[in-house]
Copies of this chain bind each other. A is one copy, B any other.
Amino acid sequence: MKKSTLKVIPLGGLGEIGKNITAIEYEDEIIVIDCGVSFPDDDMLGIDLVIPEITYLLENKEKVKGLFITHGHEDHIGSIPYILKQLNMDIYATRLTIGLIESKLEEHKIDNRNLISVKEGDVIKFNKLSVEFIRATHSIADACSLAIFTPIGTIVHTGDFKIDYTPIDGRVMDLNRFSALGEEGILLLMADSTNVERSGHSLSEKTIGETLNRIIGGATGRVIVATFASNIHRMQQVVDASLKENRKICFSGRSMENVSNVAMELGYLHIPEGEVISVDELNNHDDKITIITTGSQGEPMAGLSRIAYGNHRKIKLEPNDLFIISASPIPGNDKMISKVINQLYKKGAEVIYEDLEDVHVSGHAYQEELKLIHSITKPKYFLPVHGEYRHLKHHADLAKKMGMPGQNIFTMETGDVLEITEDDAKVAGKVRTGVLYVDGIGVGDVGNIVLRDRRNLARDGMVIIVFAIDRENFYLASGPDVITRGFIYARESEEIINEIKEVSRQKIEECLADEAVGWQVLKGSVRKAVENLLFEKTKRRPSVFPIIMEV
């Protein structure tokens, strides 16, 4: 009997493809991989988070067997609280990842969930599909790749990974398992493309340890390290370097406290009892302290910025503080980070960052690591994932250079469906997907029209022209009054305000003279006249809102 078609569908995601959530479907079973957030672009004004739009999964919800999480980064777990409200799924992940998801669900007060803690080598079996967790290395502990066994063949999904032969926890990526699967035959490889533009091999997390030892060893005052809250191995290295110098450790920032607590409880972060002090105890302590804080991206509301600008409630900057920013700028954040660095220097502190010392390594595989994975997995088909289109393209090129035929490689966009049969594979059709904006507690209620209005308001502000019209006798009963915000400093612009009033009044009276005029026409003609006036006088295009009150 001929077997059915296997489908692989990257859903959601902003810019990066196949990152936030992916569906793998065979007949009446769907496996979902990861469930993360994207962070809004600069022009998504006021948006807090971007989550996947999962119509496809909702329409096929009886098929969904479970959600498999590769690791605990926000772009892989951040949407879980939102998505679970729409579609309840069993969630499978390793222990630390489960711990981080639990803490997130608690924050969102979500109880009705089924979290299943797995370990490497575990295989979760359904009728037709089964999923194996394979140990990987990444910039968070307990990361996994996945093997998905299907009646058509095996899919290997690397998840985010790098190949670190000397990880801090000693748990090297299980290359032997990748190799064995490769020997058995892999139908489809899905692999991380983030760093495909970087030649060579990424450096081991351990290489930072020596630098940290030297820098922290030489510090005379407090040390304040900003890093990603999720990078537990980085934390461990900072802790180890600090304890050598008899420094106490203090975690500051909500996510830093959360993650360090989870990691300590579960045994992923090792700090002897009594060595951690709380932020409240800082004031009664000498300078033999290392503070580990959030804000490594220069985020204005996070720990590092607050300390730099003197508005942290508990931590006051001292001139002999040594700051270490142990992170890379995520694209788009360079300017914010640079501002914080400038501010720290102005206050007289020392600051060490990536441009000056090797205090950060990437968590994603470089070209030679990717080649290794391609080489030992020897897949029939290849689907580059986790990257913007340029990265997928280069990852496809890399596979071609390694000898894979071009027609076996699929550079897809979100919503594209990769269909694989026993005989061939092709991109066939597209399912509805996209993203939803989270703004405050609203999910999806801010769409493109609202954002376009925000952008217009942001660019040149607005001008409201309000006037009352007597509905019976059809005359201007009051106004026009003019209110502006974000357009011009009104107190110093009486002249232009008066011109707006004058132009509006003329238009209103002109229109009212025509008794048949409708309010929409009247408003439109006032708007047009004022827009023209303002563009001519200022070359700006504020949003103009004429408002009529009938009295």
Q: In the bound complex, what is the Cα–Cα distance between A359 and B65 (angstroms)?
A: 49
Asked if B538 and A389 sit within 8 Å, CB to CB, the answer is no
Asked if B389 and A454 sit within 8 Å, CB to CB, the answer is no
Asked if A338 and B388 sit within 8 Å, CB to CB, the answer is yes
Q: In the bound complex, what is the Cα–Cα distance between A441 and B535 (angstroms)?
A: 10
Q: Which of A192-223 contact B (CB under 8 A)?
A: 197
Set B45, B342, B442: member contacting A459, Cβ < 8 A: B45
How many positions in chain A have a CB within 8 Å of any CB in the partner chain? 71
Residues in chain B near residue A488, CB distance under 8 A: 442, 445-446, 450
Interface flag for A127 (CB, 8 Å): no
Q: In the bound complex, what is the Cα–Cα distance between A486 and B457 (angstroms)?
A: 8
Asked if B441 and A551 sit within 8 Å, CB to CB, the answer is no
Q: Which residue of B lies closest to A47 (CB)?
A: B459
Q: Which residue of B lies closest to A471 (CB)?
A: B478
Q: In the bound complex, what is the Cα–Cα distance between A543 and B462 (angstroms)?
A: 12
Residues in chain B near residue A538, CB distance under 8 A: 439-442
Interface flag for A351 (CB, 8 Å): yes
Given the contacts A549-B468, A551-B477, A453 and B540 also touching, CB distance less than 8 Å: no
Residues in chain B near residue A45, CB distance under 8 A: 458-459, 486
Given the contacts A445-B492, A466-B547, A481-B549, A342 and B486 also touching, CB distance less than 8 Å: no
Bits for A381-394, please: 1 = Cβ < 8 Å to B, else 0: 00000001110011
Asked if B342 and A338 sit within 8 Å, CB to CB, the answer is no
Residues in chain B near residue A62, CB distance under 8 A: none
Q: Which residue of B lies closest to A537 (CB)?
A: B441
Asked if B457 and A485 sit within 8 Å, CB to CB, the answer is yes
Q: Which of A386-409 contact B (CB under 8 A)?
A: 388-390, 393-394
Asked if B46 and A341 sit within 8 Å, CB to CB, the answer is no
Asked if A489 and B449 sit within 8 Å, CB to CB, the answer is yes
Residues in chain B near residue A334, CB distance under 8 A: 331-332, 334
Residues in chain B near residue A268, CB distance under 8 A: none
Set B343, B459, B479, B486: member contacting A453, Cβ < 8 A: B486
Asked if B462 and A462 sit within 8 Å, CB to CB, the answer is yes
Given the contacts A454-B457, A458-B457, A489-B447, A335 and B345 also touching, CB distance less than 8 Å: no
Asked if A445 and B489 sit within 8 Å, CB to CB, the answer is yes
Q: Which of A461-500 contact B (CB under 8 A)?
A: 461-462, 464, 466-468, 477-479, 481, 483, 485-489, 492-493
Q: In the bound complex, what is the Cα–Cα distance between A125 and B441 (angstroms)?
A: 67
Residues in chain B near residue A549, CB distance under 8 A: 466-468, 478-479, 481, 549, 551
Q: In the bound complex, what is the Cα–Cα distance between A239 and B461 (angstroms)?
A: 44
Asked if A540 and B439 sit within 8 Å, CB to CB, the answer is yes
Residues in chain B near residue A356, CB distance under 8 A: 197, 394
Q: In the bound complex, what is the Cα–Cα distance between A478 and B548 (angstroms)?
A: 10
Asked if B478 and A545 sit within 8 Å, CB to CB, the answer is no
Interface flag for A285 (CB, 8 Å): no
Interface flag for A539 (CB, 8 Å): yes
Q: In the bound complex, what is the Cα–Cα distance between A393 and B347 (angstroms)?
A: 12
Interface flag for A120 (CB, 8 Å): no
Q: Which residue of B lies closest to A460 (CB)?
A: B46
Residues in chain B near residue A543, CB distance under 8 A: 485
Set B341, B388, B466, B467: member contacting A390, Cβ < 8 A: B341
Q: Which of A320-372 contact B (CB under 8 A)?
A: 331-332, 334-335, 338-339, 341-343, 345-346, 351, 355-356
Asked if A464 and B464 sit within 8 Å, CB to CB, the answer is yes
Residues in chain B near residue A539, CB distance under 8 A: 440-442
Shortest Cβ distance from residue A295 to the other chain B in the assembled complex, whole angstroms = 17
Q: In the bound complex, what is the Cα–Cα distance between A45 and B45 (angstroms)?
A: 11
Interface flag for A28 (CB, 8 Å): no
Q: Which of A83-140 contact B (CB under 8 A)?
A: none
Residues in chain B near residue A540, CB distance under 8 A: 46, 439-440, 442
Shortest Cβ distance from residue A252 to the other chain B in the assembled complex, whole angstroms = 23
Given the contacts A42-B42, A341-B390, A477-B551, A458 and B468 also touching, CB distance less than 8 Å: no
Q: Which residue of B lies closest to A464 (CB)?
A: B464
Residues in chain B near residue A453, CB distance under 8 A: 461, 485-486
Interface flag for A318 (CB, 8 Å): no
Name the 5 nearest CB pairs between A and B, nearest first: A440-B539, A458-B458, A454-B486, A457-B457, A453-B486
A and B contact pairs by CB, cutoff 8 A, 6 listed? A197-B355, A345-B389, A441-B539, A445-B488, A445-B493, A483-B547
Show the binding face of A for B, using Cβ within 8 Å. 15, 41-42, 45-46, 197, 331-332, 334-335, 338-339, 341-343, 345-346, 351, 355-356, 388-390, 393-394, 413, 439-442, 445-447, 449-451, 453-462, 464, 466-468, 477-479, 481, 483, 485-489, 492-493, 538-540, 543, 545, 547, 549-551
